[in-house]
């Protein structure tokens, strides 16, 4: 269950490593290990208009295709790119995955 995380600090990284060892030995159950995993996740960056447009252009996607990948409308992507709206939490997470892992991760 334990996954390699990009912890927020060295202390959280050490706690996560110890929890992973305890989980492998059977002292921590799966649910508690998931809590440790969530605590140690790297925070998702905030996507503003420039970042959304730069990511879309780097991936060579149209606004309509990016909207389809993110399960939103093309008008929403347009509004993100001109700064009228900002991506919400789930959309920010999907944008972060796109940036870190590429388009194949969401298809």
Closest C-alpha among 45, 107, 101 to residue 70: 107
Domain chopping of the chain, boundaries:
1-43, 49-105
For the chain, the C-alpha Rg in angstroms (whole number) is: 17
59: Cβ contacts below 8 Å, ≥ 6 apart: 66, 98, 102, 103
Measure the CA–CA gap between 88 and 15, rounded to whole angstroms: 30
Q: Are 85 and 76 in contact (CB under 8 A)?
A: yes
pLDDT of residue 8: 60
CATH superfamily of 49-105: lambda repressor-like DNA-binding domains (1.10.260.40)
Convert the pLDDT of each residue in 21-38 to its tens digit: 999 999 999 999 888 888
pTM for the model: 0.67
């Amino acid at each position: 269950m334990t996954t390699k995380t990009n912890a927020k600090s060295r202390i959280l990284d050490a706690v996560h490593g110890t929890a992973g060892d305890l989980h492998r030995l059977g002292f921590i159950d799966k649910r508690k290990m998931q809590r440790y995993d969530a605590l140690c996740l790297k925070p998702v960056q905030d996507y503003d208009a420039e970042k959304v447009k730069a990511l879309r252009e780097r991936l060579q996607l149209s606004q309509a295709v990016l909207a389809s990948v993110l399960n939103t409308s093309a008008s929403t992507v347009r509004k993100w790119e001109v700064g009228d709206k900002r991506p919400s939490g789930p959309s920010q997470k999907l944008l972060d995955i796109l940036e870190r892992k590429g388009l194949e991760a969401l298809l």
